[in-house]
Structure 1
Amino acid sequence: MAVVAARLHGDPGRQPGDHRVLVDRLWPRGVRRAALDLDEWAKDLAPSTELRRWYGHEPERFAAFADRYRAELATPEQVARCGALLARAAGRRLVLLTATRDLERSAASVLREVLEAWPPEGPPA
Structure 2
Amino acid sequence: MSVIKIKRAYEKAEANDGYRILVDRLWPRGLTKERAAIDLWFKEIAPSPGLRKWFGHAPDRFLEFRTRYVEELAQNPAITNVSDLLTKHRMVTLVYSAKNVEINHAVILKEFMESIGKVSV
Decide whether aligned partners of structure 1 residues 77 and 58 sit closer, same or farther in structure 2, where only a CA change above 3 A counts: same
Q: Which residue of 2 aligns with 1:95?
A: 93
Distance in 2, Cα, partners of 1:98 & 1:50: 18
Shift of 1:84: 2.8
Q: Assess if the C-alpha contact under 8 Å between 2:10 and 2:31 holds in 1.
A: no
User: What is the one-letter code of the residue matched to 1:65?
Assistant: F
**TM-score normalized with structure 1 length:** 0.84
Distance in 2, Cα, partners of 1:66 & 1:26: 19
Moved more, 19-28 or 75-84: 75-84
Q: Which residue of 2 aligns with 1:113?
A: 111
Distance in 2, Cα, partners of 1:67 & 1:85: 25
Alignment of 1:23-102 (within 5 A): 23-75=23-75, 77-89=77-89, 92-102=90-100
Shift of 1:119: 4.2
Distance in 1, Cα, partners of 2:79 & 2:107: 17
User: What is the one-letter code of the residue matched to 1:98?
Assistant: Y
Q: Assess if the C-alpha contact under 8 Å between 2:23 and 2:41 holds in 1.
A: yes
Shift of 1:35: 2.2
Distance in 2, Cα, partners of 1:49 & 1:13: 30
Q: Assess if the C-alpha contact under 8 Å between 1:45 and 1:73 holds in 2.
A: yes
Q: Which runs of 5+ in 2 are unaligned?
A: none
User: What is the one-letter code of the residue matched to 1:49?
Assistant: P
Q: Assess if the C-alpha contact under 8 Å between 1:72 and 1:78 holds in 2.
A: no
Tell me the C-alpha RMSD between the 2 structures.
1.8
Aligned-residue sequence identity (percent) comes to: 34
Q: Assess if the C-alpha contact under 8 Å between 2:45 and 2:76 holds in 1.
A: no
Q: Which runs of 5+ in 1 are unaligned?
A: 121-125
Shift of 1:79: 3.2
User: What is the one-letter code of the residue matched to 1:101?
Assistant: K
